[in-house]
Amino acid sequence: MSKDQSVQEALGEKPGFQVWWRMLRPHTLTASFVPVFIGTVAASMHTSVHVGLFFAMLIASMLIQAATNMFNEYYDYVKGLDTEASVGIGGTIVRDGIPPKQVRNLAFVFYGIAILLGFYICIETTFWIAVIGLISMLFGYLYTGGPYPIAYSPFGELFAGFFMGTVIIGISYYIQIEAITSGIILLSIPPAILIGAILLSNNIRDLEGDRENGRKTLAILVGRENAIRVLALFFISAFAFTAIFMAIGLLPIWAFITLLSAKKAINAYKTFKNNNTPLEMMPAMKYTAQMNTIFGFLYGVSFLLEHLITFLF
């Protein structure tokens, strides 16, 4: 069995439709669903939700993230960073033989569809949304594209958390009530931190390979053990901010249900501590993504519970 085949078998990769599905890195797409959901349900405390705008924003956000994943796959291949033995990638180019330009061009198609959806959002609200959206797409491209890719620097977690957390939550909130508040910016902090945690967990897993290829990620700068501690700090900070926002009345008291995601955070931390190879650390990446999904979903559900309690009593 070749190395290529052994990696595919270990990762459970199959041919056919799954080749294209993997290219989207579907396990990461919750990082775009969660912020749109949070921004929308937070706005629902002040107005009725415009369902069309919600779905337009959701689909556009997921398309932009999927396109960013494709650009990542394309440029990492072009720069020689991905091989058939690489884990944590779609593998559509190096293992499945999809032409690199086809992957890149599909990413631009996704961007085009997102722009059309953005145009609809702008017609319903304001064309300033287009400016913010185009800037977000530009940074999505520059994450691995361009002469100085953000992904190769120590600032990847910061940019990912800001654009995929704070910006998406802010836009999702704004298009519903056409206003932005300091409160929604503060509320975006815990989800933004956990989106940064997904990227950090990815960089912990890929630390050795990234170092060999000249990257200078946060995980490389602080070292493996400290990076795992920083990841734990990210998890703790998300819960701490949530508790503070509950205490000052910015979040409904029902947000305590986010603690149900703590088990996934603990699993991620322990898996990183007890394993060293990229393949062994893959479950830790999964736990981190699951923690982000469960936390973010419950974070948003706390607003819905507040609606329900108010309606009943």
Domains and CATH numbers, the chain: 12-312 (1.10.600)
* 73-109: pLDDT as tens digits: 888 787 776 666 555 555 677 777 788 888 889 999 9
Which of 168, 178, 170 lies closest to 136 in space, CA to CA? 168
The yes-or-no verdict on residue 4 having pLDDT over 70 is no
Predicted local confidence at residue 133, as pLDDT:
87
Mean pLDDT of 127-131: 90
Tokens of 238: 């998300």
Residue 188's nearest CA partner among 203, 207, 174 is: 174
d(CA 61, CA 129): 13
Place of tokens 């120590």: 154
Residue 44 confidence (pLDDT): 93
Above pLDDT 70, what percent of the chain?
Answer: 91
211: Cβ contacts below 8 Å, ≥ 6 apart: 220
Q: Tokens 């603990």: give the residue.
A: 266
DSSP state of 145: S
Q: Are 216 and 293 in contact (CB under 8 A)?
A: no
Mean pLDDT of all residues in 38-47: 94
Q: Is the pTM of this model over 0.85?
A: yes
pLDDT confidence bin for 304, thresholds 50/70/90: very high
Confidence of residue 224 (pLDDT cuts 50, 70, 90): very high
Instruction: Read off the pLDDT band of 55 (50, 70, 90).
Output: very high
The answer on pLDDT for 1 being more than 60 is no
| Span 186-202, average pLDDT | 95
CA dist., res. 76 & res. 143, Å (int): 11
Residue 116: what pLDDT? 95
Q: Are 107 and 74 in contact (CB under 8 A)?
A: yes
